[in-house]
Chain A
Amino acid sequence: MEIFDGLLHGFSVALTPGNLLWCFVGCFLGTVVGVLPGLGPAATIAMLLPLTFQMPPTSAMIMLAGIYYGAKYGGSTTAILLNVPGESASVVTCIDGYQMARRGRAGAALGIAAIASFIAGSVGVIALMLVAPPLAKLALSFSSPEYFALMVLGLAMVVLLAGTSLVKALLAMLLGLWIASIGTDEFTAVSRFTFGNSQLLDGIDFVIVAIGVFAVGEVIANMERREGAEVLPVPKGLRNLLPTWEELKACRFAFLNGSVIGFLIGILPGAGSTIASFISYGVEKAFSKHPEKFGTGVPEGVAAPEGANNSETGGALVPMLTLGIPGSSTTAILLAALVLWGLKPGPLMIQDNPSLFWGLVASMYVGNVMLLILNIPLIPLFAQILRLPVYLLYPFILGISMVGVYSVSGSLFDMWMLAAFSLLGYLMRRLDYPAAPLILGLVLGDSMERALRQSLMMSQGDLAILVSRPISAVMLCLAALVLLLPLFRQANAWRVKAIEENG
């Protein structure tokens, strides 16, 4: 069987001592990069490019890919412990992960994140190996109308993130949509809401909003009281530092959900791991027996998004390796690396360079195992950070936030924006506005608007294009269903109440 041969060949490449070392280096660096907010895998890969010229391309690719998926493992660490999203996709992990940490289950959360990442990462590699070319063709049939439907489905998730007040959640989402539209409109080159400031022309970076609203906003809110500022509970003993069997069992569906959704969304060029995480979280909550507990610290709320953002790497490599099309900034620089090494990414690359493809696939199996082994012992170590008394921990979070934002752009203006968004985050907490819908609106708003306008340009103004194509029609129906869920629930609640009153 061709695939089996290819895989065997791949392992023979990946398991050489040299490549094992490079795989380890990549995974380790990736984890470090993922833990640090702001510094992303794309920038790290770019920095290391000159060093790779001395290496054979396969080894270099193994290392750089290690950084790419390793970063996804690391991103959850600061999200869970400090409410600081290490990477944009980790924002969703903050929601339940940080709450688990506050209740003393930090170790369990980190463990679940690692395990979910491992399962999903492996599923992603397997899928990449088995179904890459046909899925790539499927991905091509996705265009603007389908993207629009996907974004609508994503935004419909706000209903599931709402918590107590749907109105406030919707308002937060609309605010996010507004922030997303700050900048240059790319179709007409008109600047929107930039107040004449050239630094706003490209919009406000997601990282600044996420770190400001989540991390710094939370710290400021916590500083309201001096008394409540003791050390957060850090459980002792290995048993308490790792997830229990019940918790793992509860996550069965989440592991599957994260893996599948992440991979499928990863294949679409342009749809990112953040969307994958949100949708996976939303789906998990929709199918859960106790949806109201989401947001207070349930393990599935960590497993689903973490899995999604890991299998998304496998998915994103599909168009990159089979068509030479980059799906994200990290895959863009990986492609650039391939070009710089003299390879020609495109439909024929796998054919022309089977060692590279299979060696990479095999090394991803190995890498996922390495990362699991690397991360599990680190959990007790990382959890100790929570031992710091809060008057030291909080300044530390503030410092990390500043460095994280600064490393993105190095501009003072962005630091001001960070301070402004931290004030917003604090106000939102005080006034009971949920933060996740804001992030959702911010991430999806731009893409959704763009997809809608592109679709209408394609159809010359005919809205029917959105429902006449099968994939987008299906997704829009799903979105409608999700939006009607609260109505069903409310109707059901009334029905139950009526029965109780009559009985």
Chain B
Amino acid sequence: MLKNATVMAVAAAAALLSGPAAAEFKPTKPIEVIVHTGPGGGADVLGREIATLIDKEKLAPVRLQIVNKTGGGGLTAMAYVVEKKGDDHTIALFTGNWLTNPLIRKEAKVTIKDMTPIARLVLEPAVVAVKADAPFKTLKDFIEAAKKEPGKLKQSGGSLTSRDNVVRQLLMKDTGANWAFISFPGGGERIAALLGGHVNMMIIEPQEAGEHIRAGNLRVLAQVSDHRLPGFENVPTLKEAGYDVPNVPQVRGVVAPPGISKDAQAYYENLFARMVQTAGWKKYLKDNQFQDGFQKSGELAKFFDEYSERMRGILKEAGVQVVR
């Protein structure tokens, strides 16, 4: 009898562990994917890639439609997502900005915690680049030069809360060096400033830098990454170069409006879990030198808390006013 009970227990456990039998949610109309940039912006391009991939591999019975909701540095898109409460056919692509921006903006009415986490998709590493004819051969050279003349060297980058500046703040704090940060709103202008010799250094995405490196215009001093990226095998990571700063990736993933059904959440989690397994996705990651940062909703929720906490600390150190 004990054997029977054990068999039954094992069978029952097996049935439970094999997952819910065919999730009850199936999308019946096109899924709206909210992005906070205009056409051509980072989130928009990723969204279109995802939509194309899912369509090609027939991972979903309906198509995904990109909806651009620009404005407020992401706040408009975030507010829109929360407005769509309960809508099972809406998801959104979040980036690190969605976590950081509400920390410093009084006007923000919602935060990422108000939304349903689905999955984290990519971590975008970066590299530290200087002009090829610059006197700096290693990151140490640059930092030493910065220490000798505080505030003289210049880095071009995005806004104050962008990853470029965060890495700069962390490095400056760790080494005691000081160099200026000049914001340019467009990626094109940042690279132009570096190539034109108007700034000394830039933290840039590897695929953006790739072609300029190949052409011999830029040199990479270090990588902002946990492991050495393919194509940059000879470049040390920040840790390897001796700088004990946490790796700050640009992060992107999927969230959904609050109040969607548990089945819908499970469906989307599953959808993206399948997507990241496809050869097409792996190729996309490789071509763009993104890191696979796949996390499901449970871990993602924890990640949100961790990341926000860390950013609060960094922002306060940088002298930016934190409001929540």
Contacts and interface: CB of A to CB of B under 8 A. Distances in A.
Given A189-B320, A269-B186, A201 B39 contact: no
Given A42-B40, A140-B195, A141-B196, A189 B160 contact: yes
A270 B108 contact: no
A342 B280 CA distance: 13
B211 A198 contact: no
Interface string A162-205: 00000000000000000000001011110100101111011000
A346 B185 contact: no
Nearest to A140: B196
A196 B107 contact: yes
B303 interface: no
B130 interface: no
Contacts of A415: none
Given A347-B211, A348-B214, A409 B70 contact: yes
Interface in A397-434: 409-411
B319 to A, nearest CB: 10
For chain B, what secondary structure do more than half of its interface residues adopt (helix, strand, loop), or is it mixed?
mixed
Contact of A199 (B72, B186, B211): B72
B211 A349 contact: yes
A7 interface: no
A325 B68 CA distance: 23
B197 to A, nearest CB: 8
Interface string B158-197: 0111000000000000000000101111111101110111
B313 to A, nearest CB: 17
Contact of B51 (A50, A188, A347, A458): A50
B73 A346 contact: no
Contact of B211 (A43, A336, A344): A344
Interface stretch (B42-50, B246-254, B259-267): B42-50
Interface in A306-322: 319
Q: How large is the interface on A (under 10, 10 to 19, 20 to 34, 35 or more residues)?
A: 35 or more
B94 to A, nearest CB: 17
A458 B182 contact: yes
A143 interface: yes
Contacts of A391: none
B105 A201 contact: yes
A332 interface: yes
Contacts of B191: 323-325
B185 A450 contact: yes
Contact of A198 (B70, B109, B185): B109
B145 interface: no
A327 interface: yes
A270 B184 CA distance: 10
B13 interface: no
B189 A198 contact: no
A310 B130 CA distance: 35
Contacts of A327: 188
Interface in B43-73: 44-45, 48-49, 51-52, 55, 66, 68-73
Contacts of B105: 191, 198, 201
Interface of A: 42-43, 45-47, 49-50, 53, 139-144, 184, 186-189, 191, 194, 196-199, 201-202, 269-270, 319, 323-327, 329-336, 339-340, 342, 344-349, 409-411, 450, 454, 457-458, 460
Q: Nearest 3 CB-CB pairs, A to B? A: A346-B211, A46-B39, A333-B40
Given A191-B105, A197-B107, A332-B188, 17 more contacts: A46-B66, A50-B48, A140-B196, A144-B198, A184-B73, A194-B107, A198-B105, A198-B107, A270-B189, A323-B195, A325-B189, A333-B39, A340-B45, A454-B184, A457-B180, A458-B182, A460-B152
